[in-house]
């Protein structure tokens, strides 16, 4: 084939290629909404158009080697326009996948955040409840001995007295003082004195019923409220408390130390018509116990 004819054929091919590219561009614009479809379907449409190119190349360039025709075909099939089309489809799928992944990550993060917030709220609520409970406990108890403090004990005494007055039940009260505590404190020091106070409170409480109430009234004085207990049972309780303190030694720095207590006892209705009288009667009986030898129980 002459060079002029080849050149003419090539020019015709270029025209056909240009026209075909225009058609493909038209298809691309018209099929823009089809980007959501599967890649295989769109690729098939492109392959149909490329088949036209393949046939045209074969018909117009029969004298050109199959290798040269294949090169032209590959040059076109790998061209930017077609490649861009496929890339757009692939990119769309990647974007959709990415958006789906981001959405899932956001949902997981939101769910995890919600769970963490709920957990933190639960933990904070629990902590606040514990702190409130601890604060309430500190407000009504003596820090050193664990017994109820005077500020809490006195209203409880009035309440229990009112209950006993309405129901006709007995109510007994024990006023307790550690004998010679000042001398002990001066001899062994305040840390030893604090240890004796704490241990005394522990021993007293171990001898009481659940409904009984132990309070630290001040200094080395303790008070015990016994709801529903008359004089005889109150006397037995007082003796049990006295022995629990006096018959078992205390230990301080390896030394066995013996401590005794004096107890004043009063009972409603025999010794009082109101709560303040019940308390005063027990205190007066305690003074008598201290003056008459200590380490004893005296009834009002």
- Give the residue numbers marked as catalytic: 220
Helix (H) or strand (E) holding 265: strand 261-268
* CA dihedral of residues 206, 212, 218, 222 (deg, nearest 10): -50
The DSSP bridge partners found for residue 267 are 172
| Strand-by-strand arrangement of the 213-218 sheet | 213-218, 221-227, 171-178, 261-268, 297-299
Counting other chains too, the contacts that 273-282 makes at CB distance below 8 Å and 24 or more residues apart are 274/161, 275/157, 275/158, 275/161, 275/162, 278/157, 278/161, 278/171, 278/173, 279/157, 279/173, 279/175, 279/223, 282/173, 282/174, 282/175, 282/223
Helix crossing, 3-30 with 80-140: angle to 10°?
A: 30
Which has the closest alpha carbon to 294: 255, 261, 256? Answer: 261
Q: Name the token pair of 134.
A: 């601890």
| Other CB atoms within 10 Å distance of the CB of residue 127 | 10
Q: Please tell me the distance from the alpha carbon of residue 268 to that of residue 109, in angstroms, as a whole number.
A: 67
Q: Please tell me the distance from the alpha carbon of residue 146 to that of residue 203, in angstroms, as a whole number.
A: 12
DSSP 73-120: HHHHHTSHHHHHHHHHHHHHHHHHHHHHHHHHHHHHHHHHHHHHHHHH
Q: Tell me: cis bond preceding 300? Omega within 30 of 0 counts.
A: no
């Amino acid at each position: 084939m002459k060079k002029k004819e080849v050149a003419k054929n090539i020019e015709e091919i270029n025209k056909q290629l240009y026209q075909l590219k225009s058609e493909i561009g038209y298809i691309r614009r018209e099929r823009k909404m089809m980007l959501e479809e599967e890649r295989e379907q769109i690729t098939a449409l492109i392959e149909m158009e490329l088949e036209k190119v393949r046939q045209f190349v074969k018909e117009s360039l029969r004298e050109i080697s199959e290798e040269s025709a294949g090169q032209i075909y590959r040059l076109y099939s790998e061209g930017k326009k077609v490649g861009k089309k496929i890339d757009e489809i692939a990119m769309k799928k990647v974007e959709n996948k990415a958006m789906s992944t981001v959405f899932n990550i956001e949902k997981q993060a939101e769910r995890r955040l919600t769970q963490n917030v709920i957990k933190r709220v639960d933990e904070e609520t629990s902590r606040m409840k514990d702190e409130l409970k601890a604060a309430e406990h500190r407000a009504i108890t003596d820090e050193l001995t664990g017994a109820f403090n005077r500020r809490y004990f006195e209203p409880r005494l009035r309440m229990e007295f009112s209950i006993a007055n309405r129901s006709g039940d007995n109510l007994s009260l024990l006023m307790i003082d550690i004998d010679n505590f000042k001398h002990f404190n001066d001899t062994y020091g305040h840390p030893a004195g604090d240890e004796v106070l704490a241990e005394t409170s522990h021993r007293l409480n171990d001898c009481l019923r659940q409904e009984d109430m132990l309070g630290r009234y001040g200094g080395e004085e303790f008070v015990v409220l016994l709801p529903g207990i008359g004089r005889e049972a109150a006397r037995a309780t007082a003796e049990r408390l006295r022995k629990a303190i006096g018959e078992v030694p205390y230990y301080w720095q390896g030394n066995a130390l013996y401590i005794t207590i004096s107890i004043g006892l009063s009972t409603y209705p025999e010794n009082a018509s109101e709560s303040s009288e019940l308390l005063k009667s027990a205190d007066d009986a305690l003074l008598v116990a201290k003056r008459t030898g200590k380490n004893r129980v005296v009834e009002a």
